[in-house]
Amino acid sequence: MLDLVLPLQCGGCGAPATRWCPACMNELVVKPGEPLVVTPRVDPHVPVFALGRYTGVRRQAILALKERGRGDLVSPLARVLAVGIHRLLCWSMVDTPLTVVPAPTRRSAARRRGGDPITRIAGAAVAAHPDITVAAALRMRALARDSVGLDTSARERNIAGRVRLRGPKPRTEVLIVDDIITTGATARESVGVLQAAGVRVAAVLAIAAA
C-alpha cells in the first residue's frame, strides 16, 4: 500500500522498487586516483578535492537528499565520502587525530531539510573511525541568501563576514567537507574563520564539484 501512495524509486536514476540501484552505486563509486584536486574560482588557500563532477547520478542523489527529503540517501553518499577521507589519509594530505567540520549552511535551509544533510553524511562516514570526529564548528549568520544562481562576485559578497565559529574551536587538524564546491567562496570564508581562531585546516573535500 505504501508503494502505491509513495512509489519507491532509486535516488539516482529513478528506477522503480529500489532506493539505490546497483548501477547507480557503481557510478558513484570512488575511482582509482580520486578524489581529484579541483581549482575553484575563489581560492580557499588550502587544497580542494572533489569526488566527482556535479552531474548525473551524483547530482540527482544530492538534490534528492537536500530538496526531496530522501534521508535514505545519506548512507550511499556517506560510503563515498568515507572512501574519499580514507584516500586523503593514505596520501598524507590529512592526518589523525582529525576533526571533520561540515561547511556551514543557512539555518532556514537546515530546518526545511530536517537537519543539515552534510553533517549527517559526515557523521555516518566516520562513525567507525576512532580517531576522526565530526564537529559542526561553523554557522552561517542570518541574512545570507541562497547562493543558487549567484555569480562568483555575488557569492563572495553574500558570504563575506557571515561565517562564524559555533561552540569550542576544534583542537586537532581539520578537514572541511561539503556536498558541492562551486565558486569556493564558502570554503575560503570557512577556512579563514578557522585559521583566525588558530585552527589548522588541512584541506577541503566535496562530494561533487560544479
For the chain, domain boundaries: 32-209
| Sign for the pseudo-dihedral over CA of 124, 125, 127, 133 | negative
What phi and psi, each to the nearest 5 degrees, are found at residue 65? -70, -45
Average pLDDT value for residue range 67-85: 94
Whole-number Å distance between alpha carbons of 127 and 34: 22
Burial of 82 (0-12, 13-18, 19+ CB in 10 A): buried
Grade residue 5 by pLDDT with cuts at 50, 70 and 90: low
* Sequence-separated (6 or more) residues with CB below 8 Å from residue 118: 102, 103, 105, 177, 178, 179
Q: What is the pTM of this model?
A: 0.88
Grade residue 1 by pLDDT with cuts at 50, 70 and 90: very low
Whole-number Å distance between alpha carbons of 19 and 6: 12
**What is the CATH T-level fold of the domain 32-209, as seen in this structure?**
Rossmann fold (3.40.50)
Average pLDDT value for residue range 77-93: 97
**Which whole-number Å values give the CA distances from 60 to 20, 65, 73, in the listed order?**
11, 9, 10
Cell of 3: 508503494
Grade residue 2 by pLDDT with cuts at 50, 70 and 90: very low
pLDDT digits (tens, 9 = 90+) for 137-147: 999 886 555 55
Distance in Å from the first CA to the final CA of the chain: 39
